[in-house]
Structures are given as structure tokens and as C-alpha cells.
């Protein structure tokens, strides 16, 4: 039995709720779940007409619910009415910059949204597994790297603090009420379909494909770990399945490549892969204080050991697939910067 057949034997016919279903990660995850023949209830606040969710017609292939993850009555009705078996909680304010600008929105959505969903699941008593999206940012500054799951969460800035709170609340519900909840802490996720061009990878790819110099807002020295979207989706699926079958309770798992790279090095690699290595990045943050974590990357040994998960894309291959997606999206011919 191959991997897809193994997955289908578990997922076929299950009713699955995905919050934040129309987001970047949510869209890729829902697409995979539909392929696995699950009944997906997609909770979304709104649908961007340019999003993958719309491009892949996932609004027609799922049971679409327009609503807010902070609406407890709505969540309880969905879960109990459709006997939801598994929940993926991805709904969040996911942009670091936006969270810094409007912290109360980030705290309200990311924290209240999490406890509202978990309370609805607790009351329903029909859910076999819950996966909550946290982040490697929740670890904050640590003296030792890579991050491992047994490290205390030490956030500082609004986004990472909101994710750490959601993470701890999930652990609380799991341990207090013996609920099958697992937490996924991904490093920086990238891939085709991310339309938030303020992020380093889509922003740099967009600039490079149009023959423009990319902008680095920091001084280029911060170090991060990047993980391709298809590997992330595989991790979500594996974690949910293991959470149900092994009855995991409050376990957290790091998901990343384990291959840290500086922002400047990453930018130059993207320019090279786009065939415009002669373009020089504009580095805006030189000489300015860095108001972010200097270095972040994770150990994925626990995920490999317990989930049997391993990334299939190295950074170069993942970036090549990503660049090809944006070439198609912008209608740009391979090897040129001219519009088709």
C-alpha cells in the first residue's frame, strides 16, 4: 500500500473541519483533504477571488461556511450537526507586521479564536483529533538552537505572543480535559499561491520576475528556516492521523527543513534561480536596530521519530517549484521578464 492509499484508508468519508480554510496553508491542506475523499467543512471569513481556494474551486468542492472562528455558537452547530471527526485550526492573523500594527486584533483572533474552537470541541465530544497551528515564533529568543519541543515558550512581540498563548491554551485543554489535541510549530512556510507579497519569498520572487531589485527590510542578517508547502501539508495530515490513532494529548511538533539561511543569502538564491543574479537587493535596515528575533530554526527529530514525517523538498527544489508557480500566475515566460 503506497502513501496515498494508506492515507485514503484512514481519511475516506471522514468529516473534517478546517478553520482558516481559504488562507495560503489552508487552501493547500483542503485541496489534499478533498483528494483523500473527505467531507471538508471549510470555515472562512471571506474569499479572495485571486486565492488558491478560489482558483482551485474549493468553494465548490467543500461545504463552505462563511463565519468567524470567534463565534462559539456557530462552531458548536457545525461540529455537532455534522459529527465532525477531525479539526484543523488554522484561522489566525498570520502576518507578523500586521500583528505589530494592530496587536489587539491579533490577540483577539489568535487567542480567543483558539479557546472558542477548543471549547466547542470539548462540548461536542465527537471529535477524534484536533491539530492547532502554532509557530516556531512562539519560542522567542533562545540561548540554544535549534528549537526543540521541550523548550519553554519565550515570546516578546505581538504575533509570537499571540501564537504562544494559543499554543499554551491548546496544551491546557488537552491535559485538563484529556482531549486529543496536537500542536504544530512550523518554520517559515513558502510555496505557490502565497499572495502576501510583504513576505520575503513571494516578494522577492515577484520583484525578480519583473526585473526589479528586491527590498530587504532588515539588514539581511536574520537567520530563518524555510519549509515548502507540500511538506507542511504532509505534516498536518500525518499529525492528525497519528493524533487520532495514538490518542496524542497536548504534544507539540516542530516542522521545518532544519537548514537555516540568512535573509540576504535567501534573496540572492532566489535571484539566481530566477536568472537575474545581477540585480542587487535594496537593504533598508542597515544600521538600524533589529526589532525581531535574530536567529530561528527548528529540530524536526521528534516529527521524524513519532510521525514518520520527513521533508521531501530541499530549499532549492522548493524554490524552483515556487518560482514556476509565480511565473504562471504573472504570465511571464521562463527566462524573460516580459509579459506574455
Structure confidence by residue, pLDDT tens digits, 34-46? 999 999 999 999 9
In the Cβ-directed half-sphere of 90, how many Cα atoms lie within 13 Å? 25
Quick check: helix, strand or coil at residue 48?
coil
pLDDT band for 339, please (50, 70, 90 cuts). very low
Q: Is the pLDDT of residue 285 over 90?
A: no
Strand partners, 129: 86
Contacts of 13 (CB under 8 A, 6+ apart): 37, 38, 39
Q: Which of 139, 147, 159, 326 is catalytic?
A: 159
- Higher per-residue confidence, 101 vs 185: 185
pTM attached to this predicted model: 0.94
Question: For strand 215-216 and strand 188-190, is the pairing parallel, antiparallel, or unpaired?
Answer: unpaired
The stretch 288-309 carries a mean pLDDT of: 89
Structure confidence by residue, pLDDT tens digits, 104-125? 999 999 999 999 999 999 999 8
Q: Which three cell numbers stand for residue 48?
A: 479572495
Supply the pLDDT for residue 335. Answer: 58
Cβ-based burial of 105 (10 A; exposed 0-12, middle 13-18, buried ≥19) = middle
Nearest to 16 by CA among 328, 243, 173: 243
Structure confidence by residue, pLDDT tens digits, 251-263? 999 999 999 999 9
Rounded Cα gap, residues 241 and 111, in angstroms: 25
| Torsion sign across C-alpha atoms 194, 198, 201, 205 | positive
Structure confidence by residue, pLDDT tens digits, 197-234? 999 999 999 999 999 999 999 999 999 999 999 999 99
Strand partners, 44: 66
Supply the pLDDT for residue 289. Answer: 66
Active site residue 159: yes
Peptide bond into 103 cis (omega under 30): no
**DSSP alpha helix (H) spans, the chain:** 3-11, 24-35, 52-55, 58-61, 72-81, 96-101, 103-107, 113-124, 158-177, 200-209, 229-246, 263-273, 301-302, 315-330
CA 327 to chain centre: 22
Q: Is the pLDDT of residue 2 over 70?
A: no
Length of the chain counted residue by residue: 340
Contacts of 166 (CB under 8 A, 6+ apart): 92, 110, 111, 113, 114, 132, 134
Amino acid at each position: 500500500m503506497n502513501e496515498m492509499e494508506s492515507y485514503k484508508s484512514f481519511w475516506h468519508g471522514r468529516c473534517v473541519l478546517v478553520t482558516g480554510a481559504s488562507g495560503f496553508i489552508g487552501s493547500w491542506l483542503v485541496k489534499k483533504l478533498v483528494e483523500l475523499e473527505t467531507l471538508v467543512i471549510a470555515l472562512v471569513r471571506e474569499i479572495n477571488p485571486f486565492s488558491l481556494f478560489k482558483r482551485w474551486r474549493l468553494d465548490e468542492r467543500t461545504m463552505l461556511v462563511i463565519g468567524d472562528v470567534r463565534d462559539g455558537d456557530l462552531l458548536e452547530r457545525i461540529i455537532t450537526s455534522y459529527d465532525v471527526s477531525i479539526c484543523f485550526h488554522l484561522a489566525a492573523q498570520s502576518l507578523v507586521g500586521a500583528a505589530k500594527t494592530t496587536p489587539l486584533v491579533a490577540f483577539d483572533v489568535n487567542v480567543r479564536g483558539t479557546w472558542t474552537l477548543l471549547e466547542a470541541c470539548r462540548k461536542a465530544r465527537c471529535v477524534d483529533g484536533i491539530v492547532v497551528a502554532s509557530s516556531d515564533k512562539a519560542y522567542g529568543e533562545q540561548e540554544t538552537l535549534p528549537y526543540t519541543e521541550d523548550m519553554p515558550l519565550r515570546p516578546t512581540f505581538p504575533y509570537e505572543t499571540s501564537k504562544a498563548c494559543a499554543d499554551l491554551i491548546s496544551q491546557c485543554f488537552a491535559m485538563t480535559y484529556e482531549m486529543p489535541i496536537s500542536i504544530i510549530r512550523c518554520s517559515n512556510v513558502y510555496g505557490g499561491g502565497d499572495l502576501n507579497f510583504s513576505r520575503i519569498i513571494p516578494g522577492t520572487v515577484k520583484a525578480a520576475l519583473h526585473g526589479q531589485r528586491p527590498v530587504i527590510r532588515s539588514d539581511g542578517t536574520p537567520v530563518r528556516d524555510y519549509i515548502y508547502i507540500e511538506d507542511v501539508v504532509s505534516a498536518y495530515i500525518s499529525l492528525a492521523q497519528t493524533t487520532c490513532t495514538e490518542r496524542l494529548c497536548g504534544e507539540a511538533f516542530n516542522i521545518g527543513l532544519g537548514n537555516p539561511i540568512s535573509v540576504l543569502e535567501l534573496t540572492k538564491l532566489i535571484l539566481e534561480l530566477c536568472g537575474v543574479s545581477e540585480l542587487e537587493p535594496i537593504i533598508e535596515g542597515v544600521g538600524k536596530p533589529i526589532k525581531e528575533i535574530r536567529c530561528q530554526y527548528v529540530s524536526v527529530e521528534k516529527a521524524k521519530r513519532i510521525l514518520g514525517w520527513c521533508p521531501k523538498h530541499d530549499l532549492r527544489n522548493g524554490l524552483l517549484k515556487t518560482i514556476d508557480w509565480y511565473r504562471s500566475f504573472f504570465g511571464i515566460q521562463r527566462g524573460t521578464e516580459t509579459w506574455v
